[in-house]
Amino acid sequence: MSTSPRRVLVTGASRGIGRACALELAALGFDVAINFRSRADDAAAVLSAVHEAGGAGQLLPFDVGNRAEAEATLAADVAQRGAFWGVVLNAGVTQDAPFAGLDGAAWDRVLDTNLGGFFNVLRPLVMPMVGLRQGGRIVVMSSVTGLRGNIGQVNYGASKAGLIGAVRSLALELARRRIAVNAVAPGFIETEMLGALPRDEIEKLVPMRRLGQVEEVAALVGFLFGERAAYITGQTLSVDGGLA
């Protein structure tokens, strides 16, 4: 068996939760492929941080919402570097509006990226992962919105709830291959996605009365990638300060 680090892919890894997950997994000894769509400078900074800490990694740019691009990029990468042992499916977008004012383009963009990305990324990687015969890990970033809903986020909630259903079914399909598939559902985490929302008002909604940190989400992802989590599959684990 090769002694080289196991390869993992983190999508949407140029910032926020994805960045924290990439750094966490690199610190645990994985060779991390850092996916991004448009923030090349930010992604390069993540890779530099990985290397400065003594970890292994490379950049892997593609749009998870573009099926042809994702398939071609991932096929070429696997052919060159070998199959991935693990995937963190983190890339996602929001385009919020009350449902009555939600246009078709906003619905399609959010569903195509958040839910379509599940198929576009994982479909080319599952069989190479199975072929490793080493088990594996897949962690999909859902959201507390997918569990309890949120005003103005019908499209986002639909995409994140859909991911939970997809995780449950894929976990059953891959269980005999020792590939664990789980979802993580963050609540209000201190990232750019919160935008200009009033922090004080948000914190009042959270039983712990604070925003979560990206490192707290990444710590759970790191645990799920560990040997002690090998028997956990098909689950949705919340990191939300008691919100859901």
Q: Which residues contact 49 (CB under 8 A, 6 or more apart)?
A: 23
Q: Specify whether 231 is catalytic.
A: no
* Active-site pick, 156, 161, 170, 239: 156
Could you tell me how far CA 15 lies from the centroid of its own chain?
12
Count how many Cα atoms sit within 13 Å of the Cα of residue 222 in the half-sphere of its side chain.
19
Q: Could you give the CA distance from residue 71 to residue 119 in angstroms, rounded to a whole number?
A: 10
Count how many Cα atoms sit within 13 Å of the Cα of residue 20 in the half-sphere of its side chain.
17
Report whether 212 contacts 241 (CB < 8 A): yes
Q: At what angle do helices 116-132 and 154-174 cross, to 10 degrees?
A: 20
Backbone dihedral angles phi then psi of residue 104, each to the nearest 5 degrees: -60, -35
In sequence order, the β-bridge partners of residue 137 are 86, 180
141 vs 55, 154, 199, CA distance in Å? 23, 17, 22
Residues with a known catalytic role: 156
